[in-house]
A and B are shown apart, each in its own frame.
Chain A
Amino acid sequence: METAEKTLDEILTLAATHFKVPREKLSPDEDFFKALGIDSLQTLDLLTKLENHFHVELPDYELQGVTDFRTLAGKIQARL
């Protein structure tokens, strides 16, 4: 099983790569909507990327109100 820190690191790397943002500019507690400059459709795209990467299912409603990478990592970690 992956550790929470490893999960968080993989999310940050994946988001940086996919949305072409320098990895070092992303921090765990940052608002990812602002950091990545993404809208609702791109958020769904990110959700799909994360599900495919971690091989998990993330129901949309579990992510309602989640805006930072660390909380997002916790939600994924709970399904690994």
Chain B
Amino acid sequence: MVVTAKGVAPSVEEFKGQTLSWQVNSGIIELALYRTPCNELGSLSLGDLEQFALALGQLENNAHALIVHSELKSGFCAGADLRELYQRSQAIAKDDAVRQVRDFLERIHAVLNRIDASPLTTIAAVHGVTFGGGLELALTCDLIIADKTARFAFPELRLGLIPGFGGIPRLKRDVGNAVIRDLLLTGRSFNSTKAQHIGLVSQVVSEGEALRAARATATQIGKFDRHTAATAKQFIKPVPYEELRREIDIFCDLFSRPTVQAGLKKFVESTATQPYLP
């Protein structure tokens, strides 16, 4: 509880926003996503995530682990809210649209960098669709625990873009370059078994069991000395800040090209039965 000059401030230990909630139990922070249809990351989600990043400093004082998961059956997160991105970019001049995109990227990078650099041990418990920005969110975590329904993809190239929420620099930190080229250049998705085989996922569990397994892992981590765990993490998982900055620049350069507007239009207006397939 925080006491201010005006009295008792609301506890940061619990929060329920429009797109996500968090709570702390036995030193484990659980960040739950629930924006339908599949936790698309737009301005609403970003606002809630910024609240979380702001509260994280205090939460870290009484916690040893963070679990990020989705309450939706459809999946962990389908990535950026492309409909919002398209509609906003249509309403303003091209230069303003690029500036707006850069601002959004700067803000979401700040949140994801904060989670990435947290001294807590962080776990993404994923299932179903874990695409684009959803995979980028998972990649900020130290461990990814996936159930057998999980599918991973970076489909951005079919829109004429690259992943913009830190995907490539964080993927480079974790897996081999051939895997990155495969994911990025083909845009194909792959399942949790394959994801574990290439080293992206640390545990694969039965359908619906990812959160339970993440809690068990977080409880085990709680037995270790916090300072040692945080020091080890800092040593083995540096945040690639320079490449993350470069990614924003490349994304904004690409976003100004007509190919992107055409790709977004095609996606938004598509009535195809397989719009997620490249």
Which residues of A does B touch, CB under 8 Å? 33, 39-41, 43-45, 47-48, 51-52, 57, 59-61, 63-64, 67
Contact = CB atoms under 8 A, between A and B. Distances in A.
Contact of A57 (B190, B272, B275): B190
A47 to B, nearest CB: 8
A48 to B, nearest CB: 5
B193 interface: yes
B25 interface: no
A contact face: mostly helix, strand, loop, or mixed: helix
B179 to A, nearest CB: 13
A48 B276 contact: no
A57 B74 CA distance: 21
Q: Which 8 pairs from chain A and chain B are nearest by CB?
A: A60-B277, A59-B188, A33-B273, A48-B191, A40-B276, A60-B188, A41-B74, A51-B191
Interface of B: 37-38, 74-75, 128-129, 148-151, 153, 186-191, 193-194, 272-278
B194 A61 contact: no
B191 A52 contact: yes
Contacts of A60: 153, 187-189, 276-278
Contact of B129 (A44, A52, A57, A61): A44
Contacts of A59: 186, 188
Nearest to A64: B277
A45 B150 CA distance: 8
Contacts of A44: 128-129, 151, 189, 276
A64 B129 CA distance: 18
5 contacts: A40-B277, A44-B151, A45-B149, A57-B190, A60-B187
B186 A48 contact: no
Given A47-B151, A59-B186, 18 more contacts: A33-B273, A39-B273, A40-B277, A41-B37, A41-B38, A41-B128, A43-B273, A44-B189, A48-B148, A48-B149, A48-B150, A52-B191, A60-B188, A60-B278, A61-B187, A61-B188, A61-B277, A63-B277
Given A48-B148, A48-B151, A64 B274 contact: yes
Contacts of B276: 40-41, 44, 60
Of A33, A43, A48, A61, the most chain B CB neighbours within 10 A belong to A48
Contacts of B272: 40
Nearest to B274: A40
B275 A52 contact: no
Contacts of B277: 40, 60-61, 63-64
Of B129, B186, B189, B274, the most chain A CB neighbours within 10 A belong to B274
A44 B129 CA distance: 8
Contacts of A52: 148, 191, 193
A43 B149 contact: no
A41 B75 contact: yes
A61 to B, nearest CB: 6
Nearest to B194: A57
Of B38, B148, B186, B191, the most chain A CB neighbours within 10 A belong to B191
